[in-house]
């Protein structure tokens, strides 16, 4: 089907939710959206550039999922938190790990998927204490020329030969910009944890774009493009600074007065605070090959103490659409001006269509679910998907005041933060009503499926001075369960109405990603280690299995060489929510782990460390041939 026709049909069908013709409703992205990958492959972190995390595979259905069983597993050999998911291309599974960021290639054509090659990068252990919130890595990128890319914690992008695992090149960001010296490695507080993205641009250029972590160490956020074949630096777009360095031409968003003007990345900061202004880019990246727009979001401003940085602090907390050829902004939208709560804005931007419109959905840490016109950055829906109180709304499923009308949420000063007081009972907590765990979209129902946290907090800013490579946090945070006492929810969300259809309450945060399939199922994992399969329409749990450790990774699915559909997920507790278990931090101090121990100090009662990938199928694998007598 021609893509323009396909986009129109998916939009029409998604708006019609009831009575969808099954064959038409279950269309999934293909062609340029998947790098021409086969239907049963998983060629990039969200299966396709849209980050929908929807698979057209449908052997596993609501009728037979109860027969799902583990068929093989693989120990990654590392103990810290395992986020992200493997890739499957040409019957090879590529698996990444937490620090030291090992990459494995596994042969799916043989029983037990034996190892083809293993790559162990040479990284300094001195990078370990610089990582903010565990030693995670969110995954790999792949190019059809036969390269696999991974970001290393210590601050480098590596390209590997997909067949042999040989290191082809390794690059570090340039250490100078127009603003002076830049943080390029762990010694200056810059680390790297997100999955890079490979893009073949509309002009035919092959690029890899990667980000930066270190918002708690006073770095300046950025995204960087290099040549996918040589590693040569092409461009950098900074999150703060003058328009010449943020690569903004004119008004970044003509829809909203507060986002019009020159050099707002400087003038909305006090003095030179923008030079250590955060806005890091460690989340998930999406791309529209039809428009030629690359989408990502920026994180919290540095420091966490809002008193030290009066102003809107642009362009932290911002969704950007950029031209991957040049890095120049097509539009930007700042979600939380002058952030007072560490509502890091880096969560995924999922591309979908409805009623002929090209849309983007974003579930922010600030508790607002956005539906945005992805061609121009205009907000169409901005409703609370949890019981937020920092901004004014009528409660979960209602519009947040100001978001659609002006682009700026109306804050409730009662829940503002300062170094002059301890702000109490703020919802959500700094970890957000959703953190890195990616949502999934289903064209079968037209709904989003969102793993969330249900955590609130007390927050007090403190004065902090900047020293390169040292923490630049500036706040004391204590987190605790939200209303009702549970700490997680898994929800079905209507992106056009801004309403919750159904929800499943979880004891701990639903801190792993989601997967939707044409079989009518949605899969997600819990911090206790349960992988669950749920009916997309009703929210009924149809199957679950306890994996060896807590799940903060993302389930995925693929077609095995024998033609069967398999499901795979990484377990290995960690991340910010699981930092107590991953790093061995006791629960005595509820403010430890940047406040996470207050909410999740008991996580060790439910899960222990250890990275394992578990693969599930409907039938047992064949017995391996034996040479014994």
**Distance (Å, rounded) from C-alpha 165 to C-alpha 115?**
11
Mean pLDDT rounded to a whole number for the chain:
94
User: Are the C-beta atoms of residues 502 and 492 closer than 8 Å to each other?
Assistant: yes
């986002």: which residue's tokens?
A: 259
* 627 in any annotated domain: no
Q: What is the pLDDT of residues 207-260, one digit of tens each?
A: 999 999 999 999 999 999 999 999 999 999 999 999 999 999 999 999 999 999
Query: Within 329-450, where are the H helices?
Result: 403-406
**Distance (Å, rounded) from C-alpha 497 to C-alpha 504?**
20
Q: Which sign, positive or negative, has the C-alpha torsion 462, 415, 241, 471?
A: positive
Active site residue 342: yes
Write the DSSP assignment of 511-556 as a string of letters: -S-EEEETTSEEEEE-TTSEEEEEETTT--EEEEEE-SS---S--E
**Distance (Å, rounded) from C-alpha 511 to C-alpha 574?**
10
Write out the two tokens for 304.
Answer: 């966490």
- B/e letters for 419-440, b = 16+ CB within 10 Å, e = fewer, are beeebeebbbbbbbbbbbbbbb
Query: Within 146-303, where are the H helices?
Result: 243-246, 264-267
Write out the two tokens for 311.
Answer: 């102003």
Q: Which sign, positive or negative, has the C-alpha torsion 85, 88, 89, 94?
A: positive
* 222 in any annotated domain: yes
**Distance (Å, rounded) from C-alpha 286 to C-alpha 359?**
12
CA distances from 550 to 81, 91, 95 (A): 9, 27, 18
Nearest to 245 by CA among 276, 271, 222, 226: 222
Give the phi and the psi of residue 344 in degrees, each rounded to 5.
-40, 125
**Distance (Å, rounded) from C-alpha 193 to C-alpha 180?**
24
Q: Is the pLDDT of residue 448 over 90?
A: yes
**Distance (Å, rounded) from C-alpha 346 to C-alpha 438?**
11
Q: Which sign, positive or negative, has the C-alpha torsion 384, 590, 306, 154?
A: negative
Write out the two tokens for 172.
Answer: 């570090």
Residue partners of 459: CB distance under 8 A and separation at least 6:
340, 341, 417, 422, 423, 426, 430, 475, 476, 477
Q: What is the pLDDT of residues 191-218, one digit of tens each?
A: 999 999 999 999 999 999 999 999 999 9
Write out the two tokens for 48.
Answer: 């396709």
Q: What is the pLDDT of residues 491-507, one digit of tens each?
A: 999 999 999 999 999 99
What's the pLDDT score for residue 621?
72
Nearest to 526 by CA among 500, 497, 505, 542: 505
CA distances from 264 to 57, 269, 276, 317, 545 (A): 46, 8, 15, 14, 50
Q: What is the pLDDT of residues 76-108, one digit of tens each?
A: 999 999 999 999 999 999 999 999 999 999 999
**What's the CATH number where 195 sits?**
2.140.10.10
- Of the listed 342, 344, 435, 458, which one is catalytic? 342
**Distance (Å, rounded) from C-alpha 428 to C-alpha 387?**
8
Number of domains composing the chain: 1
* 622 in any annotated domain: no
* Averaged pLDDT for residues 567-581: 98
* 629 in any annotated domain: no
Q: What is the pLDDT of residues 578-615, one digit of tens each?
A: 999 999 999 999 999 999 999 999 999 999 999 999 99
Domain that holds residue 483: 3-617
Write out the two tokens for 450.
Answer: 């969102």
Residue 74's pLDDT band, with cuts at 50, 70 and 90, is very high
C-alpha 117: how far from chain center: 27
What's the pLDDT score for residue 180?
85
Write the DSSP assignment of 191-212 as a string of letters: B--SPPEEEE-TTS-EEEEE--
* 263 in any annotated domain: yes
**Distance (Å, rounded) from C-alpha 324 to C-alpha 178?**
21
Write the DSSP assignment of 59-75 as a string of letters: SS-TTTGGG-EEEEEEE
- Number of residues assigned to the chain: 629
* Averaged pLDDT for residues 120-129: 96
What's the pLDDT score for residue 607?
97
User: Are the C-beta atoms of residues 75 and 612 closer than 8 Å to each other?
Assistant: yes
What's the pLDDT score for residue 449?
99
Instruction: Name the helix (H) or strand (E) containing 12.
Output: helix 3-14
Write the DSSP assignment of 563-579 as a string of letters: S-EEEEEEE---TTTTH
Q: How far apart are the first and last CA of the chain?
A: 55
Q: What angle do CA 334, 210, 366 make, to 5 degrees?
A: 30
**Distance (Å, rounded) from C-alpha 180 to C-alpha 178?**
6
Write out the two tokens for 89.
Answer: 């291309």
- Assign 217 to helix, strand or coil: helix
* 628 in any annotated domain: no
**Distance (Å, rounded) from C-alpha 334 to C-alpha 257?**
12
What's the pTM? 0.94
């Amino acid at each position: 089907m021609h893509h323009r026709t396909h986009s129109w049909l998916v939009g029409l069908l998604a708006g019609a939710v009831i009575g969808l013709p099954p064959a038409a409703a279950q269309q999934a992205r293909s062609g340029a959206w998947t790098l021409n990958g086969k239907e049963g492959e998983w060629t990039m972190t969200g299966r396709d550039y849209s980050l929908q995390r929807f698979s057209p595979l449908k052997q596993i259905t609501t009728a037979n999922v109860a027969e799902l069983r583990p068929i093989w597993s693989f120990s990654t050999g590392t103990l810290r938190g395992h986020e992200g998911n493997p890739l499957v291309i040409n019957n090879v599974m590529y698996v990444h790990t937490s620090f030291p960021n090992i990459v494995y290639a596994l042969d799916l054509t043989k029983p037990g998927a034996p190892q083809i090659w293993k790559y162990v990068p040479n990284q300094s252990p001195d990078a370990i204490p610089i990582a903010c919130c565990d030693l995670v890595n969110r995954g790999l990128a792949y190019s059809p020329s036969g390269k696999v890319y991974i970001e290393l914690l210590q601050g480098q992008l590596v390209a590997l030969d997909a067949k042999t695992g040989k290191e082809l090149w390794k690059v570090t960001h340039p250490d100078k910009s127009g603003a002076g010296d830049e943080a390029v490695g762990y010694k200056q507080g810059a680390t790297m944890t997100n999955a890079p993205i490979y893009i073949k641009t509309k002009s035919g250029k092959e690029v890899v774009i990667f980000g930066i972590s270190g918002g708690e160490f006073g770095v300046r956020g950025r995204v960087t493009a290099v040549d996918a074949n040589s590693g040569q630096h092409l461009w950098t777009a900074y999150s703060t600074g003058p328009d010449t360095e943020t690569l903004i031409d004119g008004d970044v968003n003509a829809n909203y007065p507060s986002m019009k003007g020159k050099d707002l990345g400087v003038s909305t900061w006090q003095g030179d605070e923008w030079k250590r202004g955060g806005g890091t880019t460690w989340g998930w990246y999406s791309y529209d090959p039809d428009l030629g727009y690359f989408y990502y979001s920026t994180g919290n401003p540095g420091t966490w103490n809002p008193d030290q940085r009066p102003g809107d602090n642009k362009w932290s907390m911002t969704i950007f659409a950029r031209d991957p050829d040049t890095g120049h902004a097509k539009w930007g939208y700042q979600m939380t001006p002058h952030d007072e709560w560490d509502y890091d804005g880096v969560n995924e931007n999922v591309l979908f269509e409805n009623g002929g419109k090209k849309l983007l959905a974003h579930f922010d840490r600030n508790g607002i679910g956005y539906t945005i016109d992805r061609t121009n950055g205009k907000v169409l829906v901005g409703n609370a998907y949890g019981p937020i109180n920092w901004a004014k709304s009528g409660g979960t499923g209602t519009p947040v005041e100001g978001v659609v009308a002006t682009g700026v949420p109306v804050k409730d000063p009662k829940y503002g933060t300062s170094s002059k007081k301890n702000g109490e009972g703020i919802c959500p907590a700094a970890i957000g009503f959703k953190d890195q765990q990616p949502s999934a979209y289903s064209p079968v129902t037209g709904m989003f499926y969102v793993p969330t946290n249900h955590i609130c907090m007390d927050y007090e800013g403190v004065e902090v001075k900047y020293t390169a490579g040292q923490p630049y946090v500036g706040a004391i945070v204590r987190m605790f369960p939200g209303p009702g006492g549970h700490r997680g929810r898994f929800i079905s969300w209507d992106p056009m109405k801004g309403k919750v259809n159904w929800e499943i309450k979880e004891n701990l945060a639903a801190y792993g990603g989601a997967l939707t399939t044409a079989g009518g199922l949605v899969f997600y994992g819990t911090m206790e280690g349960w992988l669950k399969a749920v009916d997309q329409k009703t929210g009924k749990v149809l199957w679950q299995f306890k994996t060896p450790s807590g799940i903060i990774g993302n389930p995925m699915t693929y077609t095995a060489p024998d033609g069967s559909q398999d499901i795979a997920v990484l377990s290995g507790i960690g991340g910010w929510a699981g930092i107590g278990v991953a790093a061995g931090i006791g629960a005595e101090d509820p403010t430890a782990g940047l406040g996470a121990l207050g909410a999740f100090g008991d996580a060790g009662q439910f899960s222990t460390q250890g990275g394992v990938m578990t693969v599930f199928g409907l039938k047992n694998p064949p017995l391996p041939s034996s040479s014994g007598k």
